[in-house]
Amino acid sequence: MFDFCVADHTLPFGPAGYSCKNPLMVNVNDFSSSGTLNAPNTDNIYKAGLSTAFVNTIPGLNGLGISLARVDVQPGGVVPLHTHPDATEVITMLQGNLTVGFISSNNTVYVKSIGTGDVFVIPRGLLHFQVNSGINLSVELSAFSSSNPNTQIVDEALFKSNLATKIITATTFINPIEVLRLKLLFKGSG
Amino acid sequence: MFDFCVADHTLPFGPAGYSCKNPLMVNVNDFSSSGTLNAPNTDNIYKAGLSTAFVNTIPGLNGLGISLARVDVQPGGVVPLHTHPDATEVITMLQGNLTVGFISSNNTVYVKSIGTGDVFVIPRGLLHFQVNSGINLSVELSAFSSSNPNTQIVDEALFKSNLATKIITATTFINPIEVLRLKLLFKGSG
Amino acid sequence: MFDFCVADHTLPFGPAGYSCKNPLMVNVNDFSSSGTLNAPNTDNIYKAGLSTAFVNTIPGLNGLGISLARVDVQPGGVVPLHTHPDATEVITMLQGNLTVGFISSNNTVYVKSIGTGDVFVIPRGLLHFQVNSGINLSVELSAFSSSNPNTQIVDEALFKSNLATKIITATTFINPIEVLRLKLLFKGSG
Amino acid sequence: MFDFCVADHTLPFGPAGYSCKNPLMVNVNDFSSSGTLNAPNTDNIYKAGLSTAFVNTIPGLNGLGISLARVDVQPGGVVPLHTHPDATEVITMLQGNLTVGFISSNNTVYVKSIGTGDVFVIPRGLLHFQVNSGINLSVELSAFSSSNPNTQIVDEALFKSNLATKIITATTFINPIEVLRLKLLFKGSG
Amino acid sequence: MFDFCVADHTLPFGPAGYSCKNPLMVNVNDFSSSGTLNAPNTDNIYKAGLSTAFVNTIPGLNGLGISLARVDVQPGGVVPLHTHPDATEVITMLQGNLTVGFISSNNTVYVKSIGTGDVFVIPRGLLHFQVNSGINLSVELSAFSSSNPNTQIVDEALFKSNLATKIITATTFINPIEVLRLKLLFKGSG
Amino acid sequence: MFDFCVADHTLPFGPAGYSCKNPLMVNVNDFSSSGTLNAPNTDNIYKAGLSTAFVNTIPGLNGLGISLARVDVQPGGVVPLHTHPDATEVITMLQGNLTVGFISSNNTVYVKSIGTGDVFVIPRGLLHFQVNSGINLSVELSAFSSSNPNTQIVDEALFKSNLATKIITATTFINPIEVLRLKLLFKGSG
């Protein structure tokens, strides 16, 4: 309908994305970024980090259904079990090695060790993970089929939130002592 | 494009759904069912069961992006933590009471106790659960925004599959003893 | 793109739905309702009534393409000939019996008598109807593949509007005396 | 995904359209037609006729969501009350004059007399009609937002089908004598 | 979701189109136009002209994915090589003759001479052109699968813009003298 | 609808993509590839090359609307003026420097020099190009919002095809001598 619809974050937004910036105010910088994919901080419990080129940093992505992220994982680090509720992810390994996998809804595991230059597809919405069991930092570039992919990390949903322990144990069958240990680890309440 | 496209399960299927049955062979029974929403068996670890009216039982649903299920939960039972990777779910309580909730990707919990006649919406792709903490069987009717919604139960993905314990512990931080206990419970391997 | 886009009815709306409420102001009540599916008033010409759980009463449905309604029909009552221009409807009978049917664009009639627990699909956009020829109130739950399904009742379009009698007779071939009788019945003008 | 997907009517078809012809067998004639929009026969009860350029005659339209028709209406003729369940229609008058109108789902009538060169939009799914109350043949070109728009004529759905008179009278409130007269006129049964 | 969403050009717009006008302020003129398809001016370098019935002149087209244009080409005139980045075009010849063609992404040419009443389909996004090598004005009606189709004319993108000659020669292999001649012709800079 | 639909290239395909492989025959290699993004051959007129991870090499991409390519450009090389008729492209520079730009349909040029780590967005369907005016090989990773993006190179459409010189000169205004020179260069006929 339009050549493009650069996000104007000051206007209302709706199910299809952000309102468009006045086309006369659009310039090439709305479609590009420097540094958004710099090495992310990996000094955390996962020994992994993410830097993103999503619609919040590149407003020209609005409405176009695609975006990028760089994911670095230190040796021994992981991208914990998570989903992207509305996006397929396609990984390209730029450096190092990873074990990457997803699980289908009939509980089949699709897992593989990949190295530099390899590509791996994670169909939209499915649980997946990455593990760096090597001795070098791994660097991957991930493309997403959404301009603003959300990420739901199972551990954080359960243990970094205020979800009641009673509900967690009932709906995951994890024993309450383990739940409390994980709540301490992830700083959850409830 | 067509008035309808009744699924012919003997023909190839693609990203948009099943191939259409010859329209001359279609009759009213392709659009209806009796008994598909009968009381499901709840004699299982969850004390809950599901009966479905999806495209496999009502071929006329093909391509129409909607379907139904009935979910019964015994007192003390649960619908365990799960997602529908491609569908929103809208619950109507037909009988009894449930605690139902979902968690957003920024780890906010939306939880509520609902009773007969109440409606609850679970946006597509997000982790959610139901708990029957009452003393009566609960019966709900769920509508889905897919003619064939898939369901990914977190416990089954992890503990009923052949996903390696080493990967599970690394990507969920659940301790290996608990993982093994859950694998025994859910009959997983790996 | 977003986990959800709860409708803010004070902001502009567009072809894809309503603008999103500030996510910080969203709470669980935006995704649920009590009483919206209570027994509707059936004291009207159709001896039938509708209570709805659409995006106007459950703002969390915005952009999710699904909604619900309850339809009660008294003995001898009907849901008159109508279409939902943008939605498939899936009916579940909760109580009583109905004759339900739709007509395809090549004038084939798909009609069936259904009872409690039965499911019936009405593909989007097609003319359909329900008749309660039994002796008990019928109660159905209808799911729609739209968060705000519109309903066009043929009789009301013709006879409750200000469409000129001359146009009605010319385009429906119903004789003018009958048109006038129906205009009186439905309180139309023109 | 593909430059085009020319319909191969010998292969299975699905919700998104027909299977694609082998691209090596495609030629320019798959994208064009001569004579498909010739003057249609108007010797019928409506004094109106339709010639179409839909995917059945131009296989290159498959998957592209657009098609054309020519509609001729004799003086005193009509395009009877109908809907296109999945398509918007945009009319351009090539010759003569018509009264054209549609009715919204809140029973508002949008009606206008249009002449050569005028354009009129009928939003998808809504009841509409055309009446030639002039003294000359009218010729219009209609574009549809579907490569294979279906048409549901209310009179034919009711009176040219085998829908039971009892159901018709109950769901339309048209008196049974008038129903029988119209069934005779349209050669329906039931 | 709505019967229609008439464009209100004073409100924000987004990827799915313009915001909707208050339905109470909508009237039949929002869905129709007179004169928008009058004979366009063809006194230009192409000896061709375009008059449009897009969402800017018919606000009722908003969100409906369809629109119209009339294209007149004088003898010896052309519609220069161009694309519609988001729309399929379906041409109907109303008067005269044209050579019309498109090129697929594997460099196959689909070209044909068409005359009054003929229809020709140009799949979305592909390079195409029209040439009037006859001796009479040609008049065509084009339908587009977008309510606001954009048009990218290759010559104007290159030679009417401020794209640097050095870039043009490098990326098109057209020699710089020819580039400068064309820039003079099209009044480009750079 | 399905967790995934891995392409089976032996079955019919349609507008939404390829038919799905029997899910029981799917394995992890359907979702991954090694070597598909190896350094491409750049020994050609453009001094540039492309290696792709599209649905033809990774069948698991079918229906998911995303894919990848690696583009290498030698110093002095170019990616010639082209469009992707159905895909947005997001470029990440992995090595070297490029001048990259696109042109909107109102002839505005959006051009920028980018280096390692920079990201650049090219909205779907618009003419664009890359020029390596540096002294080192440039390597970029491009993500596309299509599982099988097509590419239309303007020079090849015109000069590597059999499009008649008379049509080319008429519709591009390039003088015939230059057209013939370019046809020789690109080995076109016509």
Q: What is the DSSP string of F117-185?
A: T-EEEE-TT--EEEE--SSS-EEEEEEESSSS---EEHHHHHHSS---HHHHHHHH---HHHHHHHHHH
Determine the residue type at A71: V
Separation CA A156–CA E67 (nearest Å): 48
Residue A144 shares a structural domain with residue A127: yes
> Which residues share a beta bridge with C53?
C68
Q: Was B89 annotated as part of a binding site?
A: yes
* Within-domain flag for F7: no
- Say yes or no to pLDDT of A1 above 80: no
Is residue B86 within 8 Å of residue B125, measured between CB atoms? yes
| B19-31 pLDDT tens trace | 999 999 999 999 9
In angstroms, the first-to-last Cα distance of chain D is 47
Instruction: Give the CA count within 13 Å in the CB-facing half-sphere of C139.
Output: 11
Report chain A's mean pLDDT, rounded to a whole number: 97
B187/A contact by beta carbon, under 8 A: no
For residue A174, the tally of other CB atoms under 10 A from its CB is 25
Q: What confidence score (pLDDT) does residue F169 get? A: 98
Number of domains in chain C: 2
Separation CA C182–CA B110 (nearest Å): 50
Residue C145 shares a structural domain with residue C172: no
Separation CA C93–CA B34 (nearest Å): 10
Percent of chain B whose predicted confidence (pLDDT) is above 70: 99
How far off is chain C from D155, nearest CA to CA, in Å? Answer: 6
Residue pLDDT tens, chain C, 190 long: 699 999 999 999 999 999 999 999 999 999 999 988 999 999 999 999 999 999 999 999 999 999 999 999 999 999 999 999 999 999 999 999 999 999 999 999 999 999 999 999 999 999 999 999 899 999 999 999 999 999 999 999 999 999 999 999 999 999 999 999 999 999 999 8
* Within-domain flag for A1: no
Give the mean pLDDT of A125-149: 97
Report chain F's mean pLDDT, rounded to a whole number: 97
Determine the residue type at F100: V
Q: Which of A13, A124, A152 to mutate to test the interface with C (most CBs of C within 10 A)?
A: A13
C-alpha closest to that of D147 among A21, A144, E123, F53 = E123
A26: domain range? 13-150
- Say yes or no to pLDDT of F1 above 80: no
Q: What confidence score (pLDDT) does residue C133 get? A: 87
Q: Are the beta carbons of A32 and F65 separated by less than 8 Å?
A: no
- Say yes or no to pLDDT of F170 above 90: yes
Q: What confidence score (pLDDT) does residue D67 get? A: 98
Q: What SS3 state is found at A45?
A: coil
Which chains have 3 or more CB–CB distances shorter than 8 Å to chain B? A, C, D, F
Residue C117 shares a structural domain with residue C56: yes
Residue C126 shares a structural domain with residue C38: yes
At F30, list the tokens. 């359907």
Residue D178 shares a structural domain with residue D101: no
* Within-domain flag for B3: no
Number of Cβ pairs < 8 A linking chain C and chain D = 128
Q: Was D128 annotated as part of a binding site?
A: yes
CATH code, F117: 2.60.120.10
* Within-domain flag for D120: yes
- Residues of chain F contacting residue B146, judged by C-beta atoms under 8 Å apart: 1
C-alpha closest to that of D144 among C104, E65, E140, C106 = E65
* Within-domain flag for B4: no
Is residue E134 within 8 Å of residue E171, measured between CB atoms? no
Q: What confidence score (pLDDT) does residue C35 get? A: 87
Is residue D21 within 8 Å of residue D30, measured between CB atoms? yes
Residue A44 shares a structural domain with residue A91: yes
> Which residues share a beta bridge with A6?
none
Is residue E157 within 8 Å of residue E117, measured between CB atoms? no
At E50, list the tokens. 């375009």
Which of the residues in chain E have pLDDT under 70?
Answer: 1
Percent of chain A whose predicted confidence (pLDDT) is above 70: 99
| E47-77 pLDDT tens trace | 999 999 999 999 999 999 999 999 999 999 9
Q: What confidence score (pLDDT) does residue C8 get? A: 98
Q: What confidence score (pLDDT) does residue F35 get? A: 87
Q: Which of E81, E102, E113 to mutate to test the interface with F (most CBs of F within 10 A)?
A: E81
Please name the residues between 35 and 54 in chain D that touch chain E, using a CB distance below 8 Å.
Answer: 35-38, 53
C-alpha closest to that of C113 among C139, C93, C83 = C93
| F2: closest chain B residue by CA | B150
Is residue C81 within 8 Å of residue C59, measured between CB atoms? no
Quickly tell me which residue has 């090695």 as its tokens.
A97
Separation CA A172–CA E62 (nearest Å): 47
Residue B132 shares a structural domain with residue B50: yes
* Within-domain flag for E141: yes
* Within-domain flag for C69: yes
> Which residues share a beta bridge with C82?
C128, C153
- Residues of chain A contacting residue E146, judged by C-beta atoms under 8 Å apart: 1
- Say yes or no to pLDDT of D7 above 80: yes
Separation CA F173–CA B165 (nearest Å): 68
Residue D160 shares a structural domain with residue D102: no
Please tell me the pTM assigned to this model: 0.97
Residue E44 shares a structural domain with residue E72: yes
Residue C124 shares a structural domain with residue C159: no
C-alpha closest to that of F129 among A2, E170, E179 = E170
How far off is chain F from A169, nearest CA to CA, in Å? Answer: 28
Give the mean pLDDT of F18-47: 96
- Residues of chain E contacting residue D29, judged by C-beta atoms under 8 Å apart: 112
| A23-56 pLDDT tens trace | 999 999 999 999 889 999 999 999 999 999 999 9
Is residue D129 within 8 Å of residue D81, measured between CB atoms? yes
At C142, list the tokens. 């209808």
Residue C133 shares a structural domain with residue C174: no
Separation CA C43–CA F87 (nearest Å): 55
| D129-155 pLDDT tens trace | 999 989 999 999 999 999 999 999 999
Give residues with Cβ within 8 angstroms of E113, minimum separation 6.
Answer: E97, E98, E99, E100
C-alpha closest to that of B104 among A124, C31, C16, A170 = C31
| A48: closest chain B residue by CA | B171
Give residues with Cβ within 8 angstroms of B18, minimum separation 6.
Answer: B5, B7, B8, B9, B11, B55, B59, B62, B63, D14, D15
At B184, list the tokens. 């025994």
* Within-domain flag for C186: yes
Give residues with Cβ within 8 angstroms of A25, minimum separation 6.
Answer: none
Residue D141 shares a structural domain with residue D169: no
